[in-house]
Amino acid sequence: MLLLTIETTCDETAAAVVNDRLEVLSSVVASQDALHRRFGGVVPEIASRAHVERILPVIDEALRKAKVKLADLDAVAVANTPGLAGSLLVGLTAAKALCLACDLPLVAANHLQGNIYACRISGCRDVFPCIGLVVSGGHSNLYCCETPTDFTPLGGTIDDAAGEAFDKVASLLGLPYPGGPSVERIAREGDARKHRFPRPLLDDTDRLDFSFSGLKTAVRYLVVGTGKLGIESPSVKAGSFKNAHLTSADIAAAFQEAVIDCLIGKAELAIERTGYRTLCVGGGVAANGRFRKRLEESAAAKGYELFVPPLSLCTDNAVMGAIAIERLRAGKTEDLSLDIGPGPERAAVQG
Ligand code: KG4
């Protein structure tokens, strides 16, 4: 079986061709980073307009690289939830048009489940049941993943997502967008022990939720002081912090360590509570080298099996849409009334 998968949940226009042995015949990702850089974050309207311009060339290129024609396909899969409404609509409309024109079945893919399924694809063997930790720009969710498509939320962020916190702290430190890779890069030169930021909710062992908003504010207070409304970016860029003994690198390293402590602490708690012995981590933040190293240390210390996809399958891509194979195998396809499911999927258990 040959599947064309389409991904336009946020700011990457992506298409891939995969088969039912989960072999990747092609993967094309058109990044919009350059368009959003000057705003320091994704501007939804710009994202959806860029998807409109890019979706057909990206699909064409994916088919060409895979050396397949539309007539060779057995189905079209599309990530229809969660994400930005305007962005999701572009991918879904393109997928529906192809299905209608070529008389192909349409299959829906959940983007977050796809993030975990990336571990199945790259691991080359079954990873279910597992604990799934999705850490991206819009999500920080923990799930019990019984099967590739049967996810039960265990917890999640009650405010900012981890990637969002990375992006905002990068902006605070005058680092370029996207913030996660910038913070990671500069943190390599810093000393995380120079400052200790809070680890919100980490001590609350009753819940598997995260909170990164206050941590971001703690960085801000350290950089510009309390009671100030505006941030004078140029002075921050020049490194003249309120606390002159601190450098951007030390702050970035200390912030990164605090985020990682929270993510790993709750993942370990989820493993302890459920008795599951496998952890699958996905999403853009899983591309962070320090996080990956700390996860490996945690897996070795606690004796669980860890799956983290290669970097190209952590940040947004269409390969993970191969999760649709699981629905196809179960005989499940969608009709053309399929809609988008926009907005973040909040798994936080409010308590
Ligand atoms: O999964 P993703 O590509 O897009 C969605 O949010 O759906 O994740 C993007 C997020 C951004 O917040 C970005 O700053 C973060 O992942 N990110 C990283 C790294 N690479 C990307 N965060 C920390 N370290 C990284 N190396």
Mean pLDDT of each 10-residue bin along the chain, 351 residues long:
98 98 98 94 97 98 98 98 98 98 98 98 97 97 97 97 96 93 97 96 97 96 80 50 75 98 98 98 98 98 98 98 97 97 81 52
H/E/C letters for each residue in 317-349?
A: CCHHHHHHHHHHHCCCCECCCCCCCCECCCCCC
Ligand 1 centroid from CA 14, angstroms? 16
Our mutation pick for probing the ligand 1 site, out of 10, 81, 136, 314, counting the most ligand atoms within 8 A of Cβ, is 136
Q: What is the pLDDT of residue 242?
A: 56
Q: What is the pLDDT of residue 3?
A: 98
Q: What is the pLDDT of residue 235?
A: 43
Cα(first)–Cα(last) distance of the chain, in Å? 45
Q: What is the pLDDT of residue 351?
A: 52
Q: What is the pLDDT of residue 240?
A: 55
Q: What is the pLDDT of residue 246?
A: 73
* Contact (CB, 8 A) for 232 and 224: yes
Q: How far apart are CA 308 and CA 324, in angstroms?
A: 20
Q: How far apart are CA 90 and CA 108, in angstroms?
A: 14
Q: Ligand 1 pocket: which residues have CB below 6 Å?
A: 9-10, 136-138, 163-164, 166-167, 178-181, 184, 283-285, 287-288, 315-316
Nearest residue to 86 (alpha-carbon basis) of 112, 52, 59: 52
* Contact (CB, 8 A) for 76 and 98: yes
Ligand 1 atom closest to residue 10's alpha carbon, by position in its atom list: 7
Kindly report the protein residue whose alpha carbon is nearest to atom 22 of ligand 1. 180
Q: What is the pLDDT of residue 347?
A: 77
Query: If 0-12 CB within 10 Å is exposed, 13-18 middle and 19+ buried, where does residue 330 land?
Result: exposed
Asked, as a colleague might, if the bond just before 129 is cis with ω within 30 of 0, I would say: yes
Kindly report the protein residue whose alpha carbon is nearest to atom 8 of ligand 1. 284
Q: For residue 331, how many other CB atoms are within 10 A of its CB?
A: 6
SS3 label, residue 71 = helix
